[in-house]
Amino acid sequence: MNQWTSGQPARLELPLARASVDRAGDIRLQPDELNRLWDSGKILHHASGKFLVTDLAQIKFLSAADIDGLKLSGSFESGEKIFLGIEKGIGYFAWCSDALNLLAHEEDQSYQSLRAIGDGLSDLEMGLAVHAQALANWHHAHQFCARCGARTTAGNGGTLRKCDQDASEHYPRTDPAIIVLIKDKDDRVLLGRQKVWPEHRFSCFAGFVEPGESFEHCVAREVGEEAGVDVADVYYLGSQPWPFPASIMIAFEARTNNPQAARPDGQEIEQIRWFSREEMKQAVLDKSLLLPPVMSVARKMIEAWYGNGANVDLVSGQSWRPE
């Protein structure tokens, strides 16, 4: 990698980075105030990885009395109360639980995943949903102390877990991952296909930052490993949380001076393709190219490169990888 730069091109506006809620961290340490806000607040229900939604696939907000009703119904285990923040004096919370029988709600579509509803959420709903999803995933996976193995209990509005045995405190972690759009001197872009993806799905190159590694070195390493090319002129584009289960995606654009060296690694990446804008338009049209989901970082990077007409020329079905 020859150069690390910032400031160009323009920063991306990324869907999951939208939020309008004050997280109000000071209130997490005030149990009486948390209880007051809970009793008068708006609560979203996150159950077994899905959100309770309205008929229009928007987040459905409940009251504390509604949550009590859910508990009494016998459909859900006891859940975790998570404080998400304040907006215009209203306290927002998530009640995160595991459904005893979420299959009973599949026919009426009352519970939907963030992947399914994300494209239509407001800034308020998106900020709340991403926050709730990430913390719900963490609470579900950290029921026991990493030091002694004893059970842990949620505290501080759901922002930590405390060991019942040794009183050690455990906090959520976010895994940083880079994602990069590779271009050549002719302004073509290089996309790769993972073996586990749906047929014809191609996307940008991405990977987790390893311990002791900087973002820029991770960009060079991942691109070299997966696509076989060198990178230069690396530009930061933006970032957005990706709670599937606990990542933040840091987006970059980079140029390669040896496009002829491009080749898939044969392990994770099984195919790579260079695209001009006209070639991408035609590939989408003839269905030989399936682009990443609309709310993904990769999709926004590709659309920003394509420019005018992306919302018309690059329309393709959603293509989530298997969960």
Whether the bond between 243 and the residue before it is cis, its omega within 30 degrees of 0, is: no
Q: Give strand ranges (E) for 22-89.
A: 42-47, 50-52, 61-62, 80-87
Q: What pLDDT is recorded for position 110? A: 87
Q: What pLDDT is recorded for position 72? A: 81
Q: What pLDDT is recorded for position 70? A: 84
Residues sharing a CB contact under 8 Å with residue 280, sequence separation 6 or more, in sequence order: 189, 289, 302, 306, 313, 314
* Rounded (10°) angle between helices 31-40 and 64-73: 80
Cβ proximity of 135 and 158 under 8 Å: yes
Low pLDDT (below 70) residues in the chain: 1-8, 77, 99-108, 317-323
Q: What pLDDT is recorded for position 319? A: 58
Residue 263: count of CB within 10 angstroms of its CB:
12
Options 3.90.79, 1.10.3470, 3.30.390, 3.20.20; CATH for 17-141 is 3.90.79
Q: What pLDDT is recorded for position 103? A: 64
The DSSP output letter for 79 is: -
Amino acid symbol at 52? L
Cβ proximity of 48 and 99 under 8 Å: yes
Cβ proximity of 134 and 246 under 8 Å: yes
Q: What pLDDT is recorded for position 205? A: 97
Q: What pLDDT is recorded for position 106? A: 64
Q: What pLDDT is recorded for position 289? A: 95
Instruction: Please name the fold of domain 174-313.
Output: Nucleoside Triphosphate Pyrophosphohydrolase (3.90.79)
In whole angstroms, give the CA distance from residue 175 to residue 241.
Answer: 10
Cβ proximity of 316 and 284 under 8 Å: yes
The DSSP output letter for 238 is: E
In whole angstroms, give the CA distance from residue 212 to residue 207.
Answer: 15
In whole angstroms, give the CA distance from residue 236 to residue 254.
Answer: 9
Q: What pLDDT is recorded for position 290? A: 94
The DSSP output letter for 49 is: T
pTM of the model: 0.88
* Rounded (10°) angle between helices 297-306 and 277-285: 120
Domain(s) labelled CATH 3.90.79.10 in the chain stretch across 174-313
Whether the bond between 245 and the residue before it is cis, its omega within 30 degrees of 0, is: yes
User: Closest by alpha carbon to 125, among 5, 230, 210, 19?
Assistant: 19
